[in-house]
């Protein structure tokens, strides 16, 4: 998939005006999920915005109780009804848990794609070995969404994305605000006369095959996150961030 460097993560967004504002700012990738309970909000914001639907990438995720072979299609159709769309651009398996069984879940997801209800199929929060198994049952992995930020990232997942040529979609790029407390990030931000948030987003998007979906609600933060991908970090900056000896996984399995 050809995804923009920065999209909008919508977990916790309950006001459709945020989505409209994001589109007005230039966002074209919107990520929601069944478990966020806001697909209708995202859909309403898209419907009311001044943008061509064909220019937007709308993604949602099947929760772990919707991964049984007979549940995938009706659950997808329910998401589409809430979103007010005929199809999503990207449909994820949210986590390989609950009713997930690669031999039955993934063919059902593939059938949803073949039926035209989803243009692309992605996975989320998978391990490298689980990705390898999934490739046996899918006609390609179009994206993999994972937690990825300066305080927690998995080189093995980045390597898999780059080897197989799909985008790694980084959620929580600001580590839930924890990057603001990191002295290395703060020092690099000072050197570039910018914010720790901008440094973190620029670092995430500096890697080949990696895009990100920070959450923001205000126009100023939406605009700042979008512009952060244009920040050019030096090789030394990137190496310093990679060397941060701290792991804070916000959303463990």
The catalytic residues are 36
DSSP annotation of 99 reads T
Helix (H, G, I), strand (E, B) or coil at 123: strand
Helix axes 72-83, 39-48, angle to 10 degrees: 40
H helices of the chain, where? 16-25, 39-48, 72-83, 102-114, 128-134, 155-164, 183-192, 196-204, 219-228, 235-242
Neighbours of 101 (CB within 10 A): 14
In 3D space, the residue among 219, 186, 215 whose CA is nearest the CA of residue 200 turns out to be 186
CA distance 90 to 6: 16
CA distance 153 to 204: 10
CA distance 253 to 247: 15
């Amino acid at each position: 998939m050809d995804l923009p460097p920065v999209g909008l993560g919508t977990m916790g967004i309950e006001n459709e005006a945020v989505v409209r504002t994001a589109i007005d700012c230039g966002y074209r990738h919107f990520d929601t999920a069944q478990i966020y309970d806001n697909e209708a909000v995202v859909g309403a914001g898209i419907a009311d915005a001044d943008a061509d639907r064909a220019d937007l990438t709308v993604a949602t995720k099947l929760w772990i109780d919707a991964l049984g072979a007979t549940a995938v299609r009706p659950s997808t159709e329910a998401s589409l009804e809430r979103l007010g769309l005929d199809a999503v651009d990207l449909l994820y398996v949210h986590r390989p848990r609950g009713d997930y069984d690669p031999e039955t879940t993934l063919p059902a997801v593939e059938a949803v794609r073949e039926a035209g209800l989803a243009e692309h199929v992605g996975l989320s929060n998978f391990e490298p070995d689980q990705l390898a198994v999934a490739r046996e049952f899918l006609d390609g992995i179009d994206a993999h969404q994972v937690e990825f930020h300066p305080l927690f990232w998995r080189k093995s997942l980045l390597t898999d994305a780059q080897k197989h040529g799909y985008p790694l979609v980084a959620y929580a790029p600001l580590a839930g605000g924890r990057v603001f407390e990191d002295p290395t990030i703060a020092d690099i931000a000072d050197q570039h006369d910018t914010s720790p948030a901008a440094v973190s987003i620029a670092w995430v998007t500096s890697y080949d095959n990696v895009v990100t979906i920070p959450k923001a609600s205000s126009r100023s933060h939406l605009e700042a996150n979008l512009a952060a991908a244009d920040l050019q970090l030096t090789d030394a900056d990137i190496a310093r961030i990679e060397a941060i000896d701290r792991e804070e996984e916000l959303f463990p399995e």
